[in-house]
Structure 1
Amino acid sequence: MEFTQFHPTTLYHPKGHNFLISESVRGEGAVITDTRGRPFMHKYHEKKDLAPRDIVTRAILNELLESGDKFVLLDLSPIGKENIPKRFPNIYKTCLQLDIDISESPIPIVPAFHFSCGGVMTDIHGRTNIERLFAAGEVACTGLHGANRLASTSLLEAMVFGRIISDYTIANKDFYYGFKFPEVRDWIDTGIIDIIDPALIKQDWTYLQNIMWNYVGPVRSKKRLQRALIDLRNLQEDIENFYRDAKMDRKMVELRNAIQTGAVVAEHAWTNRDSLGAHYRID
């Protein structure tokens, strides 16, 4: 679960909603610069802007830390003004809707969380350790991605294992199709708090996001992970008490699940001291 992949170039804009700027843009010649227009990737890797995404992500974060800026820039001018709308029509149109003409000016970018390479352990048939429960896609840990997913393989994995699961269950239909599921009992709601304060939910989400990004993000260390585990345990205790006392609500359940997932990622990152693929520790 510690193998969490980050995308180096997402649009920095209040209305951008972490819109991904494809790495193919850099493949066509775009250059990452600081806010003063100075390229910096040559300081971090011999391939410069074509370095692996985890290296580019850490380079950008380091530049932001040193400069105090909130974003860096992706300059598409080397591609050619007339070529940009043709080669990247979706990116061009989306940015234009946000008053950014990428044929005239660079794109403000920041790294963001992108993909989880780990998840629910499965075998080659997509089976989990729970009978009749299969998993495919990002939720599953099939072993296909290893420690760092290659580009454009997420949908392919979901399709391949979806087909494998389908074929396997059909081939064993007497076992899987003949099962009669027991009746699920109605939920017994013992909560005494009718209305969940949205300010508390919002604050806990913000707190969780800050913990995960600052301490369990692209750059990890013993001290950062130690702080994360302490803060996450406190947050877990608070939300569990709230969970027991409140009437069930989707937002509450999603927050509780997210905190539990964050804690698992942090624990696995703490246990694994070796930098490998999407898991990077500076110590």
Structure 2
Amino acid sequence: MMRQFDTIIIGSGLAGLSVALSLPDNQRIAILCKDALINTASDKAQGGIAAVWDSQDSFERHINDTLIAGAGLCEKEAVAHIVEHSPDALKWLLAHQVSFTRNENDQQLHLTLEGGHSWRRIAHASDQTGHVITHTLQSLLGLHPNIQVFEQRASIDLLLDEEQPAQCLGVKALNRQSCEIETFLAPNTVLATGGTGQLFTHTTNPAIATGDGIAMAWRAGCRVANMEFIQFHPTALALPNAPTFLISEAVRGEGGILLRPDGSRFMPDYDARAELAPRDIVARAIETEMKKNGSQHVLLDISHKPRDEILHHFPTIHATCLSHGLDICTTPIPVAPAAHYTCGGVVINHSGQTDLKGLYCAGESAYTGLHGANRLASNSLLECIVTGRNIARNIAAKLPWETPAAYDNTLCIKTVTDNVKQPAQGSPLDVNNLRQLMRHYFGIVRNHAGMQAALQQLGAWKTQFHTGAGPQAPRLDDIELGNMLDVASLMLQCGLARKESRGLHYTTDYPDMANTAAPTILAPLLS
């Protein structure tokens, strides 16, 4: 089956919604969802959106906080562009009736503080900001008859022009209900597919976060960057038999402290900012303490705060923990790091354009240069909106295509053939084995021998892997596993290229930071 549109958006999170709701109503728009419309990573975001809103805050302060958290690897122009558009992004959400938490007089937004920020600038909707934003924006889609939503469509690969291979024509997708292959054609395709958390055993990401957009863009000929920087959220719920659940950064921002199992505080031993240090520092500190004590978690304690205050700021966290028999108003929360956010992705410019004409990318799938070696808390929702609205503006204006600029100072250029090694003996090809491999060799602390061994194992697995062969449509599991193998290879290649420790990438072989900061750019060589 073939369908034609003006713009195809793959993904229904905040990045995709920002594009769809910012395009003019004369655009025929398709939104493709791998699962249900509501099932996105954006929906699970708790903390909020960072924006310069308070009159005493400044762009310079927000920019500086972002650059510090990014450990010298942010693209300064991109940071300035996104931060300076933060008030407009917040106004756009307010204009769409997003209900943020307000102060007691109900006249001003309540702004909270999170790790790495030097000022209260996090607008939030209690502790379920992502859900409130996505639910509100998705409810508006029905008011736009030009927007058609296709649920249960798993994108397989991008469609390229045979005469001009550097031009995207749309996407081929699996209809999960009919098990048929469908073709969606459009002059504009937007990748807004989210992150890669499902490559790891413990993640705050939804089950759909298998790196699909990054893998499809790479196979089609797009560069990717900084795939070694995987942010492990320091504080995910770590209760026996309980699913991984994010305990918001804002808990520490509102006074929560981290404790060893014996009740002693440890973060001041690692950083002067203590619990408000950037996430990479806090996650490594927790990992170190867990190894020292042989424990599966540390404790996050907010119980010293008034009960009414806790319930007001963190009702979802309180209710979730209480459902597992834990009252956070009286008892510390067992927490441990979990894979949370992909700081690298498909290389784009300010307009969201990739290396392929007609292909845009936004959100966690994209590399804008904002996050550097470590994402500053709550900058991600901001990035979704700014980039998404830029894409819509560019499509509506039909401006000439501008391929993202080349980077003069990079660590490496790789080719597609480097992804596949010679066949070797190894474990059977299985997604759980892949996750264990990445957890063991590509966790918070890494070494080059381990990363090389993991890359060899991936090469062996990839020689066993085939998808879409024969007349039958591929299974969803095979589509996802193929994408995960590709993305895991990109991560490991980037990690091996970086001969230093910086931000989220810490290797025992090179524990110090290099004098010069350079992004890791991988460029595919297509046959």
TM-score (normalised: structure 2)? 0.46
For 1:15-26, list aligned pairs within 5 A.
16-26=242-252
* 1:274 matched residue in structure 2: 500
Secondary structure class of the residue paired with 1:264: helix
Equivalent position amino acid for 1:45 in 2: D
Describe the shift of the 1:84–1:256 C-alpha distance in structure 2 as closer, same or farther (beyond 3 A): same
> d(CA) in 1 for partners of 2:303 and 2:326?
14
> d(CA) in 1 for partners of 2:440 and 2:295?
16
Equivalent position amino acid for 1:93 in 2: A
* 2:454 matched residue in structure 1: 228
**8 Å contact kept, 1:10–1:112:** yes
Alignment equivalent of 1:39, drawn from 265, 269, 283: 265
Residues 1:53 and 2:293 aligned together? no
Deviations 1:213-258 (A, max 9, x none): 2211221222221222122222222334x77589521111101111
Deviations 1:181-209 (A, max 9, x none): xxxxxxxxxxxxxxxxxxx99x7121111
* Pairwise CA distance, 1:75: 1.5
Describe the shift of the 1:174–1:80 C-alpha distance in structure 2 as closer, same or farther (beyond 3 A): closer
> d(CA) in 1 for partners of 2:362 and 2:279?
24
* 1:213 matched residue in structure 2: 439
* 2:288 matched residue in structure 1: 62
For 1:65-144, list aligned pairs within 5 A.
65-144=291-370
Residues 1:171 and 2:397 aligned together? yes
> d(CA) in 1 for partners of 2:349 and 2:371?
14
Equivalent position amino acid for 2:230 in 1: T
Residues 1:256 and 2:482 aligned together? yes
> d(CA) in 2 for partners of 1:233 and 1:102?
45
* 1:162 matched residue in structure 2: 388
Deviations 1:18-69 (A, max 9, x none): 2111112112222212223232223322232222211111111112222222
**8 Å contact kept, 2:279–2:374:** no
> d(CA) in 2 for partners of 1:260 and 1:233?
10
* 2:4 matched residue in structure 1: none
* Pairwise CA distance, 1:174: 9.8
* Pairwise CA distance, 1:122: 0.9
Equivalent position amino acid for 1:38 in 2: S
Structure 2, gaps ≥5 residues long: 1-226, 402-426, 510-527
Secondary structure class of the residue paired with 1:115: strand
Secondary structure class of the residue paired with 1:85: helix
Which is further off, 41-50 or 160-169? 41-50
Deviations 1:92-121 (A, max 9, x none): 112112221111211111101111111111
Which is further off, 244-253 or 22-31? 244-253
* Pairwise CA distance, 1:14: 5.1
Residues 1:10 and 2:236 aligned together? yes
Equivalent position amino acid for 1:254 in 2: E
* 1:147 matched residue in structure 2: 373
> d(CA) in 1 for partners of 2:240 and 2:476?
26
> d(CA) in 1 for partners of 2:494 and 2:397?
36
Structure in which a larger fraction of residues adopt helix: 1
* Pairwise CA distance, 1:144: 2.1
> d(CA) in 1 for partners of 2:348 and 2:457?
31
**8 Å contact kept, 1:15–1:98:** no
> d(CA) in 2 for partners of 1:85 and 1:237?
52
* Pairwise CA distance, 1:167: 0.9
Identity %: 41
Describe the shift of the 1:14–1:250 C-alpha distance in structure 2 as closer, same or farther (beyond 3 A): farther
Which is further off, 266-275 or 45-54? 45-54
Secondary structure class of the residue paired with 1:234: helix
> d(CA) in 2 for partners of 1:246 and 1:157?
41
Secondary structure class of the residue paired with 2:451: helix
Which is further off, 154-163 or 26-35? 26-35
Pairs aligned (count): 257
Describe the shift of the 1:150–1:245 C-alpha distance in structure 2 as closer, same or farther (beyond 3 A): same
Structure in which a larger fraction of residues adopt strand: 2
Describe the shift of the 1:104–1:128 C-alpha distance in structure 2 as closer, same or farther (beyond 3 A): same
**8 Å contact kept, 1:2–1:279:** yes
